[in-house]
Structure 1
Amino acid sequence: MPRRDDLKTILLLGSGPIVIGQACEFDYSGTQACKGLREDGYRVVLVNSNPATIMTDPETADRTYIEPLTWQVIEKVIEIERPDALLPTLGGQTALNLAMDLDRHGVLQRYGVEMIGAKADAIRRAEDREAFKTTMDSIGLETCCGKTVKSLAEAREVLREVGLPAVIRPSFTLGGSGSGVAFNREEFDQKVARGLDLSPVGEVLVEESILGWKEYEMEVMRDADDNAVIICSIENFDPCGIHTGDSITVAPAMTLTDKQYQRMRDASFAVIRAIGVETGGSNIQFAVHPTNGRMIVIEMNPRVSRSSALASKATGFPIAKIAAKLAVGWRLHELPNDITKKTKACFEPSIDYCVVKIPRFAFEKFPEADSRLSTQMKSVGETMAIGRTFKEAFQKALRGLEVGSFGFGCDGKDLWGTPAEPSIDDIRARVATPDPDRVWYLRYAVKAGMTIDEIHELTAIDRWFLDQLVQIVETESLLRTCGSLGATEDSLL
């Protein structure tokens, strides 16, 4: 079925200022969506509070408002422009929360504006922690043991059931804001109080800890005929306990067996259908126990997410553009693949290369911030690299960080072999602590003779990834023995 002709003007909400957890990925997505909708002849009205974006350029939308992103301001825009529909799934968490405010205050009903892409009920089921847990239970998928609370007293009651360490996750927040892992009662009280304060609806989920589990993400697209495809699987190099935005991530997933992947794929389709995201893209996060394979659903973003931008660039599949077109009635089998020019969007992308994303931190600008990584996002940017192998992409991504390193070593720019070389005790302590410098101490650990099993015990990083790092260090050692390029074996070039 082609696009809907009953819609003439579509209102798009931007993501607002660039902050930690919500950066230019949503400018990228919003710009794609504006162009895609205008291609189809729709009049696009854009509201964003940040003028320093591509989406607010005059030629991107038909009408652009640079105004505060509050429901009162959006109501005034709706009164002036009289849009037929609101598309809230392309402006990050800010746009979703704003759409929910508009729905809650009856603005959309008052002016006859239809919410497309994801309805208010679907957003509520995905973002409200208790509703999400109930929905997952109804389709037989496991979530972390826990409960949603609205006060510190209730949280302490739940703590008796889940024990310490406990994870605190506020509802309707961005980039893990207010979330964290509490290892003692004092930390627990502090994090719950902060989470309740930051949650727009004043509730947090207190749940069991899954620290050390393997974390995966699936990017899913669905159309109005209930056709669904997986665009990309993404694996976190770091285990659960570190926000996915602060973790090194790899696409496609490297350590899943085919059986595990198919199980996760089926679960992803079940989740997007149960939550009720009618059209467009969603990001679903899973955790897998490293030894017994137990799989749980962590959460779902019923919108184009930060990972969607990575998946788009990794596969060449323009997720935001396709999501916008699906929202106005197109089906996956009707939309052409922009890369092949021959196949349709209903074909799941298949890639024969590896993509690695490494986060960039700037703690030198925030001297009072805690540099230890946790469930709240702290990175300010990221690099992405493509290679035929994980090792190639990993080396390229490290070099792209612009921190003065040419890769994982062998550039004479680290501390190894200098008077400042770290001791084995220092290495063990730094490897066990997730922070921006841990990746370099993984190299020192290999150089110091630590085994893969020893490093795995300290970090919970999958042994496959650690073996890849060992191979890089071993190749470095071989290159050092060659002395010159002419003396280097052909197999190393």
Structure 2
Amino acid sequence: EWPAATNYLYLTYNGDFDDIIFEKKRKVIVLGSGCYRIGSSVEFDWCCVNMAWALKERGFDESIMVNCNPETVSTDFDVMDKLYFEELTLERVLDIYEKEEPEGIVVSVGGQIPNNLALKLAKNGVKIIGTSAEDIDRAEDRSKFSKLLDELGIKQPKWGKVENIEKAKELAEKIGYPVLIRPSYVLSGSAMNVATNESQLKEYLTKAAKVSKEYPVVISKFMTNAREVEVDCVSDGENVLIGAIIEHLENAGVHSGDAIMSIPTLTLNEAIKNKIREYTRRIARSLRIKGPFNIQYLVKDGEVYVIECNLRASRSMPFVSKTIGVNLMQVAADAILGKKIKDGEYVPNIFGVKSPQFSFMRLEGVDPVTGVEMVSTGEVAGFGKTFTEAFVKALISSGVSLPEPGDGVLISIGEDKSKIIDIANKLVSKNMKIYATEKTSEELKKYGIESIFVRKVSEPRPNILDLLMNKSIKMVINIPFSNGLISTQALDDEYQIRRKAVEFKAHVVSNLQAAKAITDALDFYHKNGIENYVEFAE
């Protein structure tokens, strides 16, 4: 053995002495995001590292990181003044806090794990830098936050607190199916589900109760055909700086971590955006937010509804910072230290599009379809002078292989097949070869669209599987049933199409809005070269 000159630190029980000297300095502890997993990845690590650096620039002698991820920047040996490579639990963080005697702990940049510790740390005498633990709880506790919105007169989907299964059934009937089951204090939509009937309600409530044992589960109306919008902001308790208003490409129902996001927005008029700005500032001031935060909204029929508010940095903040050219962690560092920030909003001069990356091939048997619980394992951003340019760059960067003229595209629609007609016509005009399952093929024929009939995976061969194996299909558009009134066989047929497509490297699109955007973008992709970011910035 030999002495290590790095700043990696570990705690131990029953030790007689420390290996280092603990000096009296201005110290601050930043809690990291823990090991990478679905829902928590390098985006939060970027926030942690940039916050720690920003605090060091503002006069602290030591920025101390507590994290346990061996494959990330915050745990590199030369990034922090000190790194405690330890678990992010109450007991361990309290041990470090007592040893280091810092001015406080930052819990607002490492995702959900630090946020979940805030209230317990505060009850044990820890100084939380930024938004207070009590105010974090008012946002994280679904029931408390929904009551706050009611008090403020801010619209939200109809909701109710779940007390037991029978009350939940009554509530769901009163609200009207479909309903969304929403646990408190969770990241990536864990155990969040859309129930379309009583049987699903019971199943999903059982799952949610296991994930959210200490905190209430809320049922709210699931609003179909609504747009989803979110804001990434910083507040000093009074002034609110909006980094960006972000619109999802897909309609509501796709988790924000899996959604394709656009800055600036795509469909919102100025009146809607002004309502979002107003709600954002009222909520921030009511919750006394001091630091970074994110609010998610629904927009339907000209009305704005609040989904949730996260009093922490979101996974989209690095993307927003890159798009607007301003590091939001620098702004947030001033806010959490009690300094005043400007009230306003950044206006981007380019389009930024965030596209998710998935690892379905590494997860055996997983259904490659998106929903309210996050399944992506990464994301990339594309930038351009138009949405289409940025979108194409983001898709290609995320590993999507777009179809060329003459390539095969399989279309299989579960519900209203007429919705695919416009998309199919455009694909034909781009010289794509259209394959379709029986009912979809019949629907296309009614509108004069020629397609090649192909059997489902469960039907006699040759079928879809043979075409995928032969690489005859480059892209699969499969829009699943969503009303819950479907046979087990039909559900399995849809799953088999999506799963086999992934296994044979055909791009799967399971959302109508994404299918339309990709179809519209093919002309740009086929006719234009792709600049890299440096070329674009110049």
Distance 1:419 1:413 in 2: 6
1:347 deviates by 5.5
1:424 deviates by 8.0
Does structure 1 retain, via aligned residues, the 8 Å contact 2:232–2:314? no
1:88 deviates by 0.6
Structure 1 residues 388 and 74: CA distance shift in structure 2, 3 A: same
Distance 2:481 2:377 in 1: 20
Distance 1:220 1:167 in 2: 26
Distance 1:414 1:358 in 2: 23
How do 1:338-377 and structure 2 match up within 5 A?
348-377=345-374
How do 1:122-133 and structure 2 match up within 5 A?
122-133=135-146
Distance 1:366 1:51 in 2: 22
The reply to whether residue 274 of structure 1 matches residue 286 of structure 2 is yes
Structure 1 residues 132 and 347: CA distance shift in structure 2, 3 A: closer
Q: 2:182 aligns with which of 169, 184, 189?
A: 169
Distance 2:525 2:318 in 1: 33
Does structure 2 retain, via aligned residues, the 8 Å contact 1:166–1:209? yes
- Partner residue in 2 for 1:36: 54
- Partner residue in 1 for 2:322: 313
How do 1:227-306 and structure 2 match up within 5 A?
227-277=239-289, 279-289=290-300, 292-306=301-315
Given residue 239 of structure 1, which amino acid in structure 2 is its aligned partner?
N
Does structure 2 retain, via aligned residues, the 8 Å contact 1:117–1:323? no
Distance 1:420 1:411 in 2: 11
Structure 1 residues 426 and 48: CA distance shift in structure 2, 3 A: farther
Q: What secondary structure, in the 3-state scheme, does the structure 2 residue paired with 1:421 have?
A: strand
1:324 deviates by 2.1
- Partner residue in 1 for 2:120: 101
Distance 1:425 1:248 in 2: 29
Given residue 238 of structure 1, which amino acid in structure 2 is its aligned partner?
E
Q: Deviations over 1:441-477 (max 9, x none)?
A: 9xxxxxxxxxxxxx9xx96749xx94x6564455679
- Partner residue in 2 for 1:386: 383
Q: What secondary structure, in the 3-state scheme, does the structure 1 residue paired with 2:204 have?
A: helix
1:352 deviates by 2.1
Does structure 2 retain, via aligned residues, the 8 Å contact 1:170–1:199? yes
How do 1:20-31 and structure 2 match up within 5 A?
20-31=38-49
1:276 deviates by 2.0
Structure 1 residues 471 and 461: CA distance shift in structure 2, 3 A: closer
Does structure 2 retain, via aligned residues, the 8 Å contact 1:171–1:200? no
Q: Deviations over 1:362-406 (max 9, x none)?
A: 211112323332110001111210010011111111111224x1x
- Partner residue in 2 for 1:91: 110
Distance 2:379 2:175 in 1: 35
Q: What secondary structure, in the 3-state scheme, does the structure 2 residue paired with 1:244 have?
A: coil
1:81 deviates by 0.7
1:30 deviates by 0.4
Does structure 2 retain, via aligned residues, the 8 Å contact 1:217–1:284? yes
TM-score by length of 1: 0.80
Structure 1 residues 160 and 324: CA distance shift in structure 2, 3 A: same
Structure 1 residues 51 and 257: CA distance shift in structure 2, 3 A: same
- Partner residue in 2 for 1:17: 35
Which range moved further: 374-383 or 313-322?
Answer: 313-322
Q: Deviations over 1:321-359 (max 9, x none)?
A: 3212321133225xxxxxxxxxxxx56322121111111
Given residue 391 of structure 2, which amino acid in structure 1 is its aligned partner?
F
Distance 2:178 2:325 in 1: 40
Does structure 1 retain, via aligned residues, the 8 Å contact 2:139–2:310? yes
Distance 2:370 2:71 in 1: 29
Structure 1 residues 475 and 21: CA distance shift in structure 2, 3 A: closer
- Partner residue in 1 for 2:14: none
Does structure 2 retain, via aligned residues, the 8 Å contact 1:44–1:62? yes
- Partner residue in 1 for 2:424: none
- Partner residue in 1 for 2:77: 58
Distance 2:377 2:252 in 1: 20
The reply to whether residue 147 of structure 1 matches residue 160 of structure 2 is yes
Gaps of 5+ in 2: 1-24, 411-430, 444-476, 483-493, 502-508, 529-538
Q: 1:422 aligns with which of 430, 436, 450?
A: 436
Structure 1 residues 317 and 413: CA distance shift in structure 2, 3 A: farther
Distance 1:65 1:365 in 2: 31
Given residue 293 of structure 2, which amino acid in structure 1 is its aligned partner?
S
- Partner residue in 2 for 1:120: 133
Does structure 2 retain, via aligned residues, the 8 Å contact 1:238–1:248? yes
Does structure 2 retain, via aligned residues, the 8 Å contact 1:360–1:380? yes
Distance 2:521 2:31 in 1: 45
Distance 1:257 1:285 in 2: 17
Give the fraction of aligned pairs with identical amino acids, expressed as a percent: 29
Structure 1 residues 475 and 26: CA distance shift in structure 2, 3 A: closer
1:285 deviates by 0.6
1:67 deviates by 0.7
Structure 1 residues 41 and 215: CA distance shift in structure 2, 3 A: same
Distance 1:126 1:379 in 2: 25
Does structure 2 retain, via aligned residues, the 8 Å contact 1:283–1:307? no
Given residue 306 of structure 1, which amino acid in structure 2 is its aligned partner?
R
- Partner residue in 1 for 2:418: none
Does structure 2 retain, via aligned residues, the 8 Å contact 1:14–1:95? yes
Q: Deviations over 1:427-447 (max 9, x none)?
A: 888145699999xx9xxxxxx
1:258 deviates by 0.9
Structure 1 residues 75 and 470: CA distance shift in structure 2, 3 A: closer
Q: What secondary structure, in the 3-state scheme, does the structure 1 residue paired with 2:251 have?
A: coil
1:420 deviates by 7.8
Q: 1:215 aligns with which of 228, 232, 235?
A: 228
Structure 1 residues 411 and 39: CA distance shift in structure 2, 3 A: farther
Given residue 283 of structure 1, which amino acid in structure 2 is its aligned partner?
N
1:319 deviates by 1.4
Does structure 2 retain, via aligned residues, the 8 Å contact 1:47–1:64? yes
Structure 1 residues 411 and 433: CA distance shift in structure 2, 3 A: farther
- Partner residue in 1 for 2:392: 395
Given residue 253 of structure 1, which amino acid in structure 2 is its aligned partner?
T
- Partner residue in 2 for 1:340: none
Distance 1:431 1:381 in 2: 23
Which range moved further: 173-182 or 117-126?
Answer: 117-126
Structure 1 residues 178 and 234: CA distance shift in structure 2, 3 A: same
Gaps of 5+ in 1: 1-6, 334-345, 442-454, 481-493
The reply to whether residue 410 of structure 1 matches residue 404 of structure 2 is yes
Structure 1 residues 211 and 38: CA distance shift in structure 2, 3 A: same
Q: How many residues align?
A: 429
1:153 deviates by 3.4
Distance 1:284 1:77 in 2: 32
- Partner residue in 2 for 1:336: none
- Partner residue in 2 for 1:485: none
